[in-house]
Amino acid sequence: MAANGSTGSATEPPGLETQWREIDSLNQQQLRAGDSWYLLDKRWFDRWKEFVHTGDQNSTSYPGKIDNTPLYEDLDSYHLKERLSENEDFILVPAEAWHKLLSWYDMMKDQPPLERKVVDLPSTVKVEVYPVEIYLCLSSNLESTVPASFSRADKIHAIHQKIRQHFDVSETAESRLWMRSTDSSLERLRNLNMTVLDSCLSSGMTVIMEIRNADGTWPTTRPQIMRNSADEDSYRGLPGVCGLTNLGNTCFMNSALQCLSNTPPLTEYFLRNSYLEELNFSNPLGMKGEIAEAYADVIKQMWSGRHYSVVPRAFKTKVGHFASQFLGYQQHDSQELLSFLLDGLHEDLNRVKKKEYIELRDADGRPDQEVAEEAWRNHLRRNDSVIVDTFHGLFKSTLVCPECNKVSVTFDPFCYLSVPLPVSKERVMEVFYVSLDPTAKPTQYRLIVPKAGRVSDLCAALSQATDVPPNQMAVADVFNHRFYRIYQADESLSCILDRDDIFVYQLSSGCVDQDGEEVVMAVYMRERSHYRDYGSGSNSYGTSLFGHPLLMSVPRAQCTREDLYQLLLKRLARYVRPLDPSEEVEEEEEEDDEEELYKAQTNGVSDDEGEEDSEEAGPSKKEEETQESNQAEEQNNCQSEASPSSEGEERAEEEESSSEPDRGSSTEEGQSACGSTDTNSQDATDGDQSAGAEPSGKEDEDEDEEDEEEAASCAQANKRLPGRRRYTERRKKALFTIQAVNSNGTTERGMGEADGSFSFSSQPYVAIDWDPDMKKKYYNENEAEKYIKHQSMDVPHQQTTVQLQECIELFTTVETLEEENPWYCPTCKKHQLATKKLDLWSLPEVLIIHLKRFSYTKYSREKLDTIVEFPLRDLDFSGFLLKKTVNSTEPPCRYDLIAVSNHYGGLRDGHYTSYARNKDNGQWYYFDDSKVTYAREEQIVTSAAYLLFYQRQDKIRQPTVPPPAPSSTRPENHVSSQTLDGVDGASSCVSMETD
């Protein structure tokens, strides 16, 4: 570049004709983006042309030194005048022509050369006469700005260097640039290789440099911290020993981040700022460098030694922005997050800026070594990053067609190994057995059943322990005091989850058919509210379920309210106290109207609760009228006090009239009461009965005899003793009422037939409705909830224990492809269920092993709590690698554990934590969100281990910091306590594994 001013060392110019020919030839060059051209005053150039055309070097037209004074607004700032026109005020010459003229004629003292760049605008290529004039400053002092001019073709990196030079910012200080427009809006200038034109910088804008704080945060986005600023600034802990705040069910993310944070090669890569030079902003598969930058921010904060705990809110927001499945605060799977993060970091840091198309080739009988090397070269041609360097290995995939025996061999890269766990063919289930004996408490059994078995297998296993035939068992899932599901014998056990409360009920007989003599009835317990539910559009009482439901087989002939009442009373005898005779008698006898004396009877028993209760639970008027018409046709109008209900009387009379045994028409005390079942028209009933109804209930009377005097005396007695009639009806109180309901126990159904029996077209559900006062007095809730444990529950549940090597062997076992994922055979020209075998060929520096604890099929979902015993040191893969060591320069196959991600809980809820070994002092720590504690090596192997991180031994460095003393402790706020996200965090998410 030419000197700024006269050099006093102009060279001897060539002949005038040669000068013209050379300069004119150079001026014919085409404009190319990025080239430099120079402004030259038009008058000086015209004088020069006249001079060279005269052919006399001693002519008075000699132009002298290059002088651009007419182009400047003033000679102090040398600011270019506005609205200058090409070929009128100036001409443009290419850089080579300018340097020739400068060497021949020199330049006026102190005048700067007017160099301008050629820019490629959307519609044309032109020389940029007027550059972009912006202001530069630091975020720490926004008032102190300096002006600077840059071409639209300049890179942002040039602005970055200009600010460093002017404000004396160290080259080692990590910084980032912000662009502020006139409306004060800020925007990040992420890509330093982008041009000023592409970044939309224009004159008048300000570029601000922000320098990262010592604690890893940025001044403009300092996150919320666990302690106050003074404590944070003074805290100097061991780098990396830092918690991560749970933002609400984000323990899955925290666990994965802690494991990656304690992966030495990756963390050191970010702490050295190596990522800044490799950010790939043009990769369409990446996230424009934003995921890499967000991850770098978290790592730098965690390893600054200034924080007890970091709040990864900005990182969580970025993850949700680029992966919508992680939006919100639901539960997710740490392996899913890890997979996304490793892929995102790889694409953001991919050194391959433009991926080429590569056609993959099959082995076709070539040696494995040759095919593997070719596959790895092809992989690196499209994928080259720190993630590939650290985590990628190669395995061999062999497919064999079952029809033509075509063998296809390919070598594919992997980032982690997802190894299956050996699955037991048996399953342990816990059930509650409810016996027919009403005095027996439910018994809890622990049974071993086939994992792929059916409900009948469960009944068979329970039969061996109870000696009850399997066909006399009904299996149901009880949830929220109701039957969530009643299982059929041929249903698969896979639809029953371990968390389900399974009850097995003994039935009085087996093989109950829908149209058979017996019906399996589901019985719910309900409590009536004291108040009517007028808001629901009706005036009925609200009800709520309580206690355990029942399943019982009932003869269809006994599906009347009275018979069911007696059956249920016996079945509930263990925790329902019966009425004593003394409790049946009222202390006071009141004289009431006859309509009050004979109140509506609820479900066939006299009800003391009053008219409103009778309206709610008793028969409708239509039913009562039907009963009245039936009663008028019967022979009896006098009944015993021992008969508990008028509907029972009706059934007894029907049975008597059909020559069936008498069901309660006799009286032990010899007393008789005459009455009618019509509670709405007492006078008419009495009249009818007096006129023609035959008395019954006494064995010595002739059924065909009509005694008008006795009938009249009965009617007269009814009129003389109204209080006695009310007293007689109220002596038999009902503990509860019975109502046909739907399967949820919420909607009441029709009351059944006119004769008082229930009619069922499907699975019958009835509810036992309790008045709150009666329930409190006669129902023993404490006793109802009691159960006993069978001795099988005392046998400790033996967790399955397997070795990690067994899981890896299972990973390399030959398997047949599923129907949903067939292989297209190039020989057969169709999809085939080929056999597939995976073998390890080469392993990475850091090997991630994913234990597939979550099992998902179209029939079942479960989590395996198998204990996988994995070594902390010297995990030897030499026996699993197909590629054998060729020479001593190849890396060994031994690995040491550096981190573990744990999952506690089940499918619906759970909690993630992690163990990790600090790279600086070699000490193991337990990370539970924001809490961090020391960990002993014997604590690390648990049934919760989910992700294992191993590092090759030859890459592990010796600790640079002495390990802490065993007696030392962390601050109180780092005391670990395990919690469940579903309880402590925001309401859940789960998605578990590829959930």
Taking only the tens place, the pLDDT of each residue in 396-440 is: 999 999 989 888 999 999 999 999 988 778 888 999 999 999 999
CA distance 580 to 278: 89
SS3 state at 82:
coil
d(CA 103, CA 105): 6
Q: How confident is the model at residue 455 (pLDDT cuts 50, 70, 90)?
A: very high
pLDDT, tens only, 708-727? 444 444 444 444 444 444 44
Query: 517 to each of 557, 652, 670, 681, how far by Cα in Å?
Result: 8, 21, 37, 38
pLDDT, residue 789, reads 92
Residue 851 has a pLDDT of 94
Which residues, in sequence order, are bridge partners of residue 265?
A: none
Weakest mean pLDDT among 219-223, 716-720, 781-785, 918-922? 716-720
Classify each residue of 931-966 as buried b or exposed e, where b means 16 or more C-beta atoms within 10 Å of its C-beta.
bbebbeeeebbebbbbbbbbbbeeebeeeeeeeeee
pLDDT 10s digits, 260-298: 999 999 999 999 999 999 999 988 999 999 999 999 999
How far apart, in whole angstroms, are the C-alpha atoms of residue 666 and residue 673? 12
Contacts of 5 (CB under 8 A, 6+ apart): 107, 108, 109, 110, 111
For range 51-62, the mean pLDDT: 75
In this prediction, residue 54 carries a pLDDT of 80
| pLDDT at residue 754, as a whole number | 52
The answer to whether the beta carbons of residues 647 and 699 sit under 8 Å apart is no
Q: Which pLDDT band holds residue 328 (cuts at 50, 70, 90)?
A: confident
Which sequence positions are flagged as catalytic?
251, 911
Strand duo 788-789 + 443-450: pairing: parallel
DSSP 3-state of 229: helix
Phi, then psi, of 623 in degrees rounded to 5: -65, -40
Residues 748-757: b if buried by 16+ CB within 10 A, e if exposed: beebbebebb
CA separation for the pair 788, 760 (Å, rounded): 34
pLDDT tops 90 at residue 4:
no
- Pick the more confident residue, 714 or 478: 478
Report how far residue 965's alpha carbon sits from residue 968's, in angstroms, rounded to the nearest whole number.
6
Yes or no: say if 757 and 536 are a contact pair by the CB < 8 Å rule: no
Q: Answer yes or no: are the C-beta atoms of 927 and 913 closer than 8 Å.
A: yes
What is d(CA 559, CA 984) in angstroms, rounded to the nearest whole number?
A: 49
Average pLDDT (487-499) is 87
Could you give the CA distance from residue 227 to residue 24 in angstroms, rounded to a whole number? 72
Q: Which of 319-328, 531-540, 699-708 has the lowest mean pLDDT?
A: 699-708
pLDDT of the residue at 756: 57
**Averaged over 741-757, what is the pLDDT?**
71
DSSP-derived 3-state class of residue 414: strand
Top-confidence residue, 750 or 335: 335
- Single-letter residue type at 727: Y
- Give CA–CA dist 120/879, Å, rounded: 60
Q: Check residue 395 and give its pLDDT.
A: 92
**Residue listed under structure tokens 């494995």:** 368
8 Å CB contact between 679 and 624: yes
Report residue 325 as tokens: 């499945």
Whole-model pTM? 0.66
Q: What is the mean pLDDT of residues 859-884?
A: 84
pLDDT of 243 reads 95
Place of tokens 């990196």: 157
> Coil, helix or strand for 573?
coil
- Say yes or no to pLDDT of 701 above 50: no
Average pLDDT over residues 520-525: 91
Burial class for 839, CB neighbours closer than 10 Å (0-12, 13-18, 19+): middle
In single-letter form, the type of residue at position 936 comes to R
pLDDT category of residue 985 using cuts at 50, 70 and 90: very low
Contact between 309 and 930 under an 8 Å Cβ cutoff? The reply is yes
- Give the pLDDT band (50/70/90) at residue 662: very low
Is the distance from CB of 446 to CB of 792 less than 8 angstroms?
Answer: yes
pLDDT over 70 at 493, yes or no: yes
Averaged confidence pLDDT in the chain: 78
pLDDT reported for residue 719:
45
| pLDDT-derived band at 892, boundaries 50, 70, 90 | confident
Residue 890: per-residue pLDDT? 61
Q: What does the alpha-carbon distance between residue 475 and residue 485 come to, in Å, rounded to a whole number?
A: 9
- Cα-to-chain-centroid distance, residue 459: 35
The CB-side HSE value for 931 (13 A sphere, CA atoms) comes to: 14
pLDDT beyond 50 at 599: no
State the Rg of the chain over Cα. 46
- Residue 368 has phi, psi (to 5 degrees) of -60, -40
Q: Give the mean model confidence (pLDDT) for residues 939-948.
A: 94
pLDDT tens, residue by residue, 26-46: 999 888 888 899 999 999 999
Under 8 Å between Cβ of 107 and 66: yes
Q: Is the pLDDT of residue 804 over 90?
A: yes
What is the band of 222 on the pLDDT scale with cuts at 50, 70, 90?
low
User: Does residue 516 or residue 147 have the better pLDDT?
Assistant: 147
What is residue 871's predicted lDDT score, i.e. its pLDDT?
94
Relative to beta strand 426-434, strand 502-506 is: parallel
Share of the chain above pLDDT 70, in %: 74
pLDDT category, 676, cuts 50, 70, 90? very low
Provide the pLDDT for residue 311.
93
Residue 84, token pair as written in the block: 């200058």
Q: Which of 521, 502, 509, 523 is nearest to 471 (CA)?
A: 509
pLDDT at 865 over 80: yes
pLDDT for residue 2: 39
Reported confidence tier of residue 751, pLDDT bands at 50, 70, 90: low
**Residue 9's pLDDT band (cuts 50, 70, 90):** low
pLDDT (0 to 100) of residue 110: 85
Instruction: Determine the longest span between alpha carbons in the chain, in angstroms.
Output: 168
Q: Is residue 791 scored above 80 in pLDDT?
A: yes
Higher pLDDT, 62 or 692: 62
Residue 8 has pLDDT above 60, yes or no: no
* First vs last C-alpha separation in the chain: 63
Domains annotated on the chain, with CATH: 16-121 (3.30.2230.10), 132-211 (3.10.20.90), 241-420+803-955 (3.90.70.10), 425-531+542-577+736-743+762-799 (3.10.20.90)
The DSSP symbol for 642 reads T
